[in-house]
């Protein structure tokens, strides 16, 4: 199979930043600095800050978290003058803060996001945008009412690789789409959310009641704080942590609103450590026909104890080609279609065989095979630079939107449609039923 490689062109500050002229070295005065705060100073939040600060004119000035050790670490990383607090409302009350990154556990996403927008802040909210389906419309309404910028943190929608895939799809690269499949597999303790727990975690160093917020009151348990993804009370499991990335990518590439029928299964097969969410989840989905794509089926998988094979894959399958996405590139594979339909006449009587073959050859005359007539399978491979980061681009797009007030792709409506499909998986899994969903009205059916 012949493979041709192409490199996707990017700029030093691609996408949103480039749109503002930053890549041409446009000067930014101190008055133009975007001052941001981090709400939830865990690993994802600190990573978001690192990506945000790689863009010109962005400064971190505050952080909020319920664990004192993370507030100390924020000062170690960003300076002793950084404002820190256990109470996120003290951050929202500061007039010098333009935008916040909400990187809390999932159960606080909707509340923190709405409070921040109502306080006049723009918001970058980590995925999933909401923990419960019923939180979706209130967040959408808050964004509409306040007219703040809200960008959900599934960075694939800002990826040049996903944009290239979208361009190829829209150009007809796969023909008529009929099937999409994707998986994310892991085989490590960290990959299965077995995060480290600090030895000093205690009721004195953790504001436990503030962490529980509106959820059930339970005794202090550091495992449920530092490994919150494993518990329905605080997280959204495989669906909200990983499936939501895949839904975001599909919806971006296909301009899709989401599935209309959801079924999920799986189980707790390996990491039986007290968690109450599965470590293997499979989902199948019916997507309806729209103006941008035909009806198709989707299959998703996550396995936290996969002993081999590709850890991630994303395939868009059509009758004329297949687009395969990996971390840093997309491959378009095409196999030539057989011009003749062929025949199966071996069980017919000899006379019927001769009659059928004669009629067949009138429609499809036999031709001599030549070297020039052989059409090999072909692949076109499009790759981003090795050091490319869609995280940085996603934060660049957020900063650009703050400055221009232009809408972002992954706003509240987009974020809810991706989150709702993932949360419907959880509903299907735990309630053992098929879930109906209205992807346009964004409501359970």
How far is it, in rounded angstroms, from Cα 338 to Cα 320?
A: 12
Same domain, 421 and 321: yes
Instruction: Kindly state the average pLDDT of the residues 262-286.
Output: 98
Same domain, 185 and 312: yes
> Is 398 part of a structural domain of the chain?
no
> Tens digits of per-residue pLDDT, 76-130?
999 999 999 999 999 999 999 999 999 999 999 999 999 999 999 999 999 999 9
Q: Based on the structure, what is the number of domains in the chain?
A: 2
Same domain, 191 and 260: yes
For residue 252, pLDDT beyond 60: yes
Same domain, 112 and 186: no
> Tens digits of per-residue pLDDT, 323-376?
999 888 999 999 887 778 999 999 999 999 999 999 999 999 988 766 665 566
> CATH code at 287?
3.30.360.10
> Is 348 part of a structural domain of the chain?
no
Same domain, 260 and 284: yes
Residue 403: closest CA among 73, 57, 133, 165: 57
The per-residue b/e assignment along 208-237, b for 16 or more CB within 10 angstroms, e otherwise, is beebbeeeeeeeeebbbbbbbbbbbebbbb
Residue after which a domain boundary falls, among 109, 131, 156:
156
Residue 31: give the domain boundaries.
2-156
Same domain, 179 and 125: no
Report the pLDDT value the prediction gives residue 9, as an integer from 0 to 100.
76
> Is 350 part of a structural domain of the chain?
no
Residue after which a domain boundary falls, among 156, 177, 198:
156
pTM of the model: 0.92
Report the pLDDT value the prediction gives residue 291, as an integer from 0 to 100.
93
> Is 400 part of a structural domain of the chain?
no
Residue after which a domain boundary falls, among 108, 125, 156:
156
Report the pLDDT value the prediction gives residue 337, as an integer from 0 to 100.
78
> Is 407 part of a structural domain of the chain?
no
Same domain, 216 and 262: yes
> Tens digits of per-residue pLDDT, 52-84?
999 999 999 999 999 999 999 999 999 999 999
> Is 349 part of a structural domain of the chain?
no
Same domain, 111 and 213: no
Q: CA angle, corner 241, sides to 236 and 246, nearest 5? A: 125
> Tens digits of per-residue pLDDT, 115-160?
999 999 999 999 999 999 999 999 999 999 999 999 999 999 999 9
Report the pLDDT value the prediction gives residue 49, as an integer from 0 to 100.
98
> Is 405 part of a structural domain of the chain?
no
Same domain, 239 and 321: yes
Same domain, 232 and 246: yes
Same domain, 234 and 143: no
- 8 Å CB contact between 239 and 423: yes
* 254 vs 18, higher pLDDT: 254
Same domain, 175 and 118: no
Residue 189 token pair: 């303790």
How far is it, in rounded angstroms, from Cα 259 to Cα 438?
A: 8
Q: Which residues pair with 147 in a beta bridge?
A: none
Report the pLDDT value the prediction gives residue 407, as an integer from 0 to 100.
93
- The DSSP call for residue 127 is S
> CATH code at 20?
3.40.50.720
């Amino acid at each position: 199979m012949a493979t041709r490689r192409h490199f996707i062109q990017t700029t030093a500050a691609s996408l949103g930043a480039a749109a503002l002229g930053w890549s041409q070295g446009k000067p930014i005065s101190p008055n133009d600095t975007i001052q941001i705060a981090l709400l939830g100073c865990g690993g994802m939040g600190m990573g978001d800050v690192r990506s945000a600060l790689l863009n010109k004119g962005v400064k971190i000035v505050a952080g909020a978290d319920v664990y004192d050790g993370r507030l100390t670490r924020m000062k170690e990383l960003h300076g002793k003058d950084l404002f820190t607090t256990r109470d996120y409302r003290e951050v929202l009350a500061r007039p010098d803060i333009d935008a916040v990154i909400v990187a809390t556990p999932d159960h606080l996403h909707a509340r923190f996001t709405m409070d921040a927008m109502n306080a006049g802040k723009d918001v970058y909210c980590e995925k999933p945008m909401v923990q419960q389906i019923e939180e979706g419309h209130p967040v959408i309404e808050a964004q509409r009412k306040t007219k703040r910028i809200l960008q959900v943190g599934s960075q694939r929608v800002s990826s040049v690789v996903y944009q290239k895939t979208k361009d190829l799809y829209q150009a007809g690269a796969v023909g008529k789409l009929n099937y999409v499949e994707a998986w994310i597999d892991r085989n490590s303790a960290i990959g299965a959310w077995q995060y480290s727990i600090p030895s000093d975690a205690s009721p004195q160093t953790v504001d436990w009641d503030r962490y529980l917020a509106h959820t059930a009151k339970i005794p202090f348990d550091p495992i449920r704080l530092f490994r919150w993804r494993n518990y329905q009370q605080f997280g959204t499991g495989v669906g909200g942590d990983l499936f939501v990335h895949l839904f975001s990518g599909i919806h971006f590439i296909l301009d899709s609103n989401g599935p209309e029928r959801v079924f999920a299964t799986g189980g707790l097969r390996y990491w039986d450590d007290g968690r109450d969410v599965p470590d293997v989840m499979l989902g199948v989905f019916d997507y309806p026909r729209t103006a941008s794509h035909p009806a198709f089926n989707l299959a998703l998988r996550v396995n936290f104890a996969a002993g081999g094979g590709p850890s991630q894959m994303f395939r868009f399958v059509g009758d004329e080609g297949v687009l395969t996405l990996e971390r840093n590139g997309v491959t378009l594979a095409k196999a030539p279609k057989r011009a003749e339909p062929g025949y199966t006449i071996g069980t017919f009587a000899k006379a019927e065989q001769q009659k059928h073959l004669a009629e067949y050859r009138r429609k499809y005359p036999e031709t001599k095979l030549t070297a020039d007539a052989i059409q090999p399978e072909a692949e076109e491979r499009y790759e981003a630079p090795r050091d490319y980061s869609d995280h940085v681009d996603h934060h660049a797009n957020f900063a650009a939107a703050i400055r221009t007030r232009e809408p972002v792709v992954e706003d509240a409506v987009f974020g809810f449609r991706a989150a709702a499909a993932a949360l419907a998986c959880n509903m299907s899994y735990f309630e053992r039923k098929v879930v109906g969903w209205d992807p346009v009205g964004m409501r359970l059916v």
